[in-house]
Amino acid sequence: MKLIGVSEQFLVLLGRENNDQIHRHYDIQLQIPTSSMIINGKRTTDQVLIDSNVKHITSFADGDMLSFLIHPESRIGQNIRRHYFKSDRIATAHLSGLVEQIKVIYESMTDLNRLKRVTHTILDRFIIDPSDLQQLDDRVTDMLNCIHSADLAHLQLADVLNSVHLSKSRLTHLFKNEMKISVMRYMTWTRLFRAAQSLVFSNASITATAHQFGFADASHFSRVFKESFGYCPKRLVQEKKTTVSFMF
């Protein structure tokens, strides 16, 4: 698949998908086939939403597929989790007209503004009651602000925990209870998304980017990036000339 968009909240890919190995990603996946796909042995023409860290196999897809990899704790990720994963962590939707909109994406590859609008329109159709979002505990909000404003090359867990006057054990429990993810995993996810943006919009090497965002080396960065997105940094760099920036 080819990366066509990156933002603070999601990545967008388009093309053929055929991963016959059991795998899982930290991101929430929204997969929109233009024909049909097989997910965990079941063929469907519906759109498929897969929650964070759920093992699955996408063994074959007829035709191309539009795929969104969504930050689980972003506003979009929260909304999808709240409304689609009530009884099952793999859900389906049956929205009409999406195949025609995907065709418009192909026709808009040289018109970036139109491409951006169409991609947003498709994703917006899956958002239900956008005002219905979780209100985070103020102490968790303070921790998030610390992470987002920090120099990620040097940020340590202790820095985040010391930004709030509460015991380490209570803070880590509170954060995971509110965010459904550990502080360390959230820090890693933030590093990955910032690194992806840097690779697309700068001329920095993969090694320099790895160090800039707090990874030990390029090998470690590439491994964690591939595990999270199913997409390696080297490929991102190769395709960045045709990558579009989507920003909410």
Report pTM.
Answer: 0.79
Residue 131 pLDDT: 64
Q: What is the pLDDT along the chain (248 residues), one digit of tens a residue?
A: 788 888 778 889 888 876 677 887 878 999 999 999 999 989 999 999 999 889 888 876 678 999 999 988 788 898 998 899 988 999 999 999 999 999 999 888 878 888 888 998 999 999 987 665 567 899 999 999 999 999 999 999 999 999 998 999 999 999 998 887 889 988 998 899 889 888 888 889 999 999 999 999 999 999 999 887 777 899 888 877 666 655 54
Residue 50 pLDDT: 96
Pairing of strands 28-33, 65-70: antiparallel
Give Cα separations from 162 to 177, 194, 195 (angstroms). 19, 23, 25
Burial 89-119 (b: 16+ CB within 10 A, else e): bbbeeeeeebeebbebbeebeeeeeebbebb
